[in-house]
Structure 1
Amino acid sequence: MRLIFNSIRFLLRLVWRVLWGLVWSFALSFLIIVGIFYFTTSTESGSAGLSQAVQTAVVRVGQFLDHQGIATGLHTNVETQTDQLTDEHTTTGARWDQAEAAIYIDTDNETFRSAYQDAIGSWNQTGAFTFHIVTDKDKADIIATEMNDGSVSAAGEAESQTNLLTNRFTNVTVRLNGYYLLNNRYGYSYERIVNTAEHELGHAIGLDHNEEDSVMQSAGSFYSIQPADIQAVKDLYQT
């Protein structure tokens, strides 16, 4: 009996040591990955840059495990973005002549249509910018539509055309990416889909990314429109 007991205790200790070793190995590997992303991809320094690196590392590890056929919820709590980045927006510095634009919602998906409507309503309530929903696509300044593209590592995008002489938008197309936003395994709630729509409409207004507690945060969809976003629009249009 004592021999059996000692054997069981030995096996339990061996299993514990193996598991503990795996945990430490994973933790050390993850820290190394975070360090690599911090020094190679982060656009900020300090805590903001570290936060970007951690978010990017979590996404990449989650995607790698998924590709290996290992189910993981890593990407459920992380974004664009993403959570993949919300988008891969490039700074243009452009805006509209006035703090208003006509927008046409071009999607048959009810979730996206509702998200766009809620996002438009939220921006309009700020008083800093006004979106006018139109029913004639030809009369729209902004087209709010969708895509379903897993090759794009972003939950949305805003594509703009600009008059180079005046640096004013001539038209903008905003897209929500159903590949991520409508796929349950990426964990997007309706609230986060609306936040993503608000983010892309922010680009359509002329806002760029920032790494504050803001709807325009690049690596996430956790924030709705914040006072800092409203002030940024007012500063952009000097209202």
Structure 2
Amino acid sequence: MKRFVNLISLAFLSWGLLNVPDSQASVTSPLDGVNAFSTATDDITDLPDSPQAQRAAAKQLTIPSSSPIPLEGYRWPSRQITVYMATQDHQVQAAFREAVKKWNQTKAVHLHWIKSRQRAEVIVTDGDLQTTGNSNVGYVTSQLGSTETQFNPDTHAMIRAKSTLDAAKLRYVNRQYRDHVAEHELGHALGLAHAPEDYQSVMIPRNIRRGISKLDRQAIRNLYGLN
């Protein structure tokens, strides 16, 4: 009997705003990233006999021991990955569509849209993400995006993932920045971790400056066995 373990990795992308007088304020959109692990279940959870879980249990995958960008330690069994759009928010839809296009341009994976949520491997949506802070010191941290990834720890294979953008908070940034946040979250959904030391990477957990970098491309291709 195959062992089924329900593990969900949670990765958050957030920004912090410090309350200062208007004359001193500047908009730099500082971002903080938090990694957390949980066994809590939600709507991406599958039963052991689901098609996604069976695929993940079928074969043990090899994860590169070194990478130019940190890896989560798991990936999809196939380079063909299905995605379901679960949001009606037009700005979030546009951001995720652009992010899918950009990751497909790496030639490492092919993300393609399907109309069945049940059959999808990756679900992209919007949501009201948690805001934390201490009003006494005037610091508030607001999550812009999060990704929950369910995986099989025995085979290092991903089962399902859900990437969420906070549409309300992202109203305050331009379209290019929303696109980069979506690229960041899909990077987690593909198996990339935060890259706190690489300021050019889309996986940096603060101050995202650009989209998918040359090293991001190299890392995702290495992860899926193409380099």
Residue 219 of structure 1 is matched in structure 2 by 206
Aligned length: 168
Would you say 1:148 and 2:128 are equivalent positions?
yes
Would you say 1:88 and 2:88 are equivalent positions?
no
Residue 35 of structure 1 is matched in structure 2 by none
Contact 2:148 2:162 in 1 (8 A): yes
Per-residue CA deviations over 1:149-179 (Å, capped at 9, x if unaligned) read 3526321111011112112111001001124
Residue 217 of structure 2 is matched in structure 1 by 230
**Cα RMSD over matched residues?**
2.2
> How has the CA–CA distance of structure 1 residues 111 and 123 changed in structure 2, closer, same or farther, with 3 Å as cutoff?
same
Larger Rg: 1
Residue 164 of structure 2 is matched in structure 1 by 175
Would you say 1:108 and 2:55 are equivalent positions?
no
1:152-171 alignment runs, 5 A limit: 153-171=142-160
Shift of 1:238: 1.4
Contact 1:142 1:204 in 2 (8 A): yes
TM-score normalised over the length of structure 1: 0.64
Identify which of structures 1 and 2 has the higher relative contact order when contacts are C-alpha pairs closer than 8 Å and 6+ apart: 2
Q: In 2, distance between residues paired with 1:73 and 1:178?
A: 27
Shift of 1:193: 0.2
Contact 2:106 2:221 in 1 (8 A): no
Q: In 2, distance between residues paired with 1:104 and 1:75?
A: 37
* Aligned AA (1:108): Q
Runs of 4+ in structure 1 displaced over 2 angstroms?
62-65, 70-76, 87-92
Residue 67 of structure 2 is matched in structure 1 by none
Contact 1:100 1:130 in 2 (8 A): yes
Residue 197 of structure 1 is matched in structure 2 by 182
Per-residue CA deviations over 1:112-131 (Å, capped at 9, x if unaligned) read 00111111011111211210
Q: In 1, distance between residues paired with 2:93 and 2:24?
A: 27
Would you say 1:98 and 2:78 are equivalent positions?
yes
Higher helix share: 1
* Aligned AA (2:183): E
